[in-house]
């Protein structure tokens, strides 16, 4: 079943249910904020204090950072403008009893042109079933080449940040943005302080091991990934989040970040995707 619903304030979202899984996807930001298979807990973390209001980004789920990752481009909002943009429902179909596909579309507008003067289409495709696949397809509808950096900023729900180990990034170079230092990962990742690392040359699956489950991230169209947790001090300053919420999640982002930027020629496209399985 596929239904378009609204909160009392008019904020619209799509609810998907099939024989094996369910999901909720906000039209603002093409933002999936709930995904779970029957009999299992949600793999995505969502702040219970996050706002579902027009113009305010949702805290949790999978925010989309596009057409820029980060805040290096001062001409654009941090992480671009897509997180608070209204997408249209381009298509929805029940492929089978256990697989549902939803496609959302964002096109350039007068408002987006004032920030980023290019003609584009951004399709975000969700395939909800035994696994969750999120696919971002950027199409250049302009007469000139343009550059993008982007990320699927996935918040994973964990039993406790103390129980988390992340595999698949061993021996990969990374930039520690907190220290502005480059280094190389020596072993699996554990987190016991604020963490904000951008990894490059990522060429294998990333595995998140928690006390109660294992989640596998299989990316395509990407060779960079980000591991992030705000910890205590930064987490207490962030909007839409309890001060101690850092204990409940870790972000592992599938990205085209920094050296993994993409140049898209006129009438060509680039697709970034991730498949999440638990």
Concerning whether 153 is annotated as a catalytic residue, the answer is yes
- Is 187 within 8 Å of 171 (Cβ atoms)? no
- 79 is known as an active-site residue: no
**Catalytic annotation, pick one of 31, 34, 153, 248:** 153
- The torsion angles phi and psi of 234, rounded to 5 degrees, stand at -70, -40
**Integer Cα distance of 225 and 254 in angstroms:** 5
d(CA 190, CA 210): 11
Give every CB contact of residue 149 below 8 A, 6+ residues apart in sequence.
65, 67, 68, 69, 70, 255, 256, 257, 258, 260, 261, 262
User: What's the CA angle centered on 202, arms 199 and 207, to 5 degrees?
Assistant: 90
Catalytically active residues, by annotation: 153, 253
């Amino acid at each position: 079943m596929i239904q378009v619903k609204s909160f009392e304030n008019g904020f619209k979202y799509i609810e998907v249910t099939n024989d094996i899984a369910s999901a909720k996807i906000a039209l603002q930001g093409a933002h999936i904020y709930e995904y779970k298979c029957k009999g299992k807990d949600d793999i995505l973390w969502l702040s219970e204090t996050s706002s579902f209001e027009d113009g305010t980004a949702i805290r949790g789920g999978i925010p989309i950072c596009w057409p820029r990752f980060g805040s290096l481009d001062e001409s654009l909002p941090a992480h671009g403008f897509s997180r608070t943009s209204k997408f249209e429902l381009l298509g929805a179909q029940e492929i089978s009893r256990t697989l549902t596909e939803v496609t959302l579309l964002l096109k350039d507008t007068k408002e987006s042109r004032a920030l980023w003067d290019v003609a584009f289409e951004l399709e975000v495709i969700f395939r909800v079933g035994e696994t969750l696949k999120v696919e971002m397809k950027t199409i250049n509808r302009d007469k000139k080449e343009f550059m993008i950096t982007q990320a699927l900023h996935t918040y994973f729900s964990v039993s406790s940040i103390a129980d988390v180990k992340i595999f698949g990034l061993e021996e990969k170079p990374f930039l520690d943005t907190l220290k502005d230092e480059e280094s190389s990962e020596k072993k699996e990742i554990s987190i016991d302080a604020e963490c904000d690392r951008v990894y490059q040359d990522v060429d294998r699956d990333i595995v998140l091991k928690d006390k109660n489950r294992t989640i596998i991230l299989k990316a395509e169209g990407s060779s960079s990934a980000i591991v992030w947790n705000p910890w205590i001090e930064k987490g207490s300053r962030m909007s839409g989040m309890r001060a101690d919420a850092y204990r409940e999640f870790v972000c592992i982002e599938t990205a085209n970040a920094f050296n993994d930027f993409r140049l898209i020629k006129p009438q060509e496209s680039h697709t970034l995707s991730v498949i999440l399985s638990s």
